[in-house]
Structure 1
Amino acid sequence: MKKILLTTFLLSGLLVTAACGNNNTKEAEKTAETTETTEKETVVEKEEVVEEIPTIVGVAAGNENFTTLVAAVKAAELVETLNGDGPFTVFAPVNEAFDKLPEGTVEGLLKPESKETLTAILTYHVVAGKVMAADVVKAIKEGDGSFTITTVQGATLTASLDGENVILTDAKGGTSTIIMTDVAASNGVIHAIDTVVMP
């Protein structure tokens, strides 16, 4: 009888020990799974934080100061071009720049029959290559006060300094001031200007 009781006691002890072992193993597995999940979530969170810089069109579309310009780019069917690899430098007229044009000009340019004229005007604001503001200022100083810029349209703009401001003079003698510089895009850079320049 004592042997039976002792055997039963020992078996019970082994079962309890085994159960505890199983519980410990399960706890360890759960901890490992939780750690792995947390690590995965952390990696995902880090990946989500990394944001890509949009293209020139994307940057302009995300800025309320360029709504007229974006509408013009769409009307001229230049979205795909300005979303290309580039790099491009765009002297981008703000909405107020378009407002300076004679009444009805913008509406007329946005019509399908004016696409060729609109394309010429818009590409006159684009330069091949990435030209930062410091590059323009340096070129002006090295050029004895002026720097000739050849646009994608083919005609030229002349950059000069008025105090600390960079002034662009167009083919017709009109002038525009660069009011915001070095706005980064994935395929180039944007400089905002206060007046539409004309080829």
Structure 2
Amino acid sequence: MKHKNITKLIVAASLSGFTPILAMEEEMQPETKMEMEIEAPKINEGSLTAVISDSATFATLTAALKAAGLDTVLGGNDNYTIFAPTDEAFGKLPAGTLDKLLMPANKEKLRSLLLYHVIPGKVFSTDLKDDMEVTTANGELLEIDIDGDEVKAEDAMVYSTDTMATNGVMHSVGEVIVPESLDGFAGLDD
């Protein structure tokens, strides 16, 4: 008798748009229920990841961070500074380069490229000095050049500075900055 009521409830729930699994769960014995809670990595609201993904200017960077598994890193609690390439900056890469970098087989190369844009800790524009070298999150040095109001990270022009996030600061750049370790990869040259 109970099974007929469950069937009627499932059919009624299906027709009204409810998921029948919910109706069945109530009738299952506790020892037969399977709890399947998969906890996704938490991305802090207002984190660098959130700030980047909330902007239409950084759609390519958002996709690249996800492909490299760095969205959760920049969405966590540790503080970082990122020289964030705009979509236009990624568009300046040689044809096919970005597609090649986004391939799963090249995940580590993509990570290295993106981590070259990241500095551990908060580095504000007022902290940047001419001929300064900073160690990036990929372990290579990034040179900062300042000429009057013009700031460059390697050869990439810094367009906007000091966009704040809960876990760091973002400066946008007009070119993808290529580390020496990736010279020659898929047409990338320093």
2:86 corresponds to: 94
User: d(CA) in 2 for partners of 1:125 and 1:73?
Assistant: 11
- Give RMSD over aligned pairs: 1.2
1:32 corresponds to: none
Which letter maps to 1:58? A
User: d(CA) in 1 for partners of 2:45 and 2:71?
Assistant: 17
Deviation at 1:53, TM superposition (A): 5.8
SS at 1:81's partner residue? coil
Q: Deviations over 1:114-157 (max 9, x none)?
A: 10100000011000010101111xxx2xxxx3101110100011
Q: 1:124 aligns with which of 116, 129, 133?
A: 116
Structure with the higher helix share, 1 or 2: 1
Q: Deviations over 1:37-94 (max 9, x none)?
A: xxxxxxxxxxxxxxx9610000001000000000000000111111111210000000
Which letter maps to 2:80? F
Q: Does 1:184 align with 2:164?
A: yes
Q: Does 1:103 align with 2:95?
A: yes
TM-score (normalised: structure 2)? 0.69
2:57 corresponds to: 65
SS at 1:97's partner residue? helix
2:145 corresponds to: 160
Deviation at 1:163, TM superposition (A): 2.7
User: d(CA) in 2 for partners of 1:160 and 1:78?
Assistant: 27
SS at 2:73's partner residue? helix
TM-score (normalised: structure 1)? 0.66
SS at 1:121's partner residue? helix
User: d(CA) in 2 for partners of 1:109 and 1:135?
Assistant: 32
Unaligned runs of 5+ in 2: 1-43, 180-190
Deviation at 1:161, TM superposition (A): 1.1
Residue correspondences, number? 136
Identity %: 40
Q: 2:135 aligns with which of 137, 145, 150?
A: 150
- Residue 154 and residue 97 in structure 1: after superposition, are their counterparts in 2 closer, same or farther (change >3 A)? same
SS at 1:68's partner residue? helix
SS at 1:114's partner residue? helix
Deviation at 1:162, TM superposition (A): 2.5
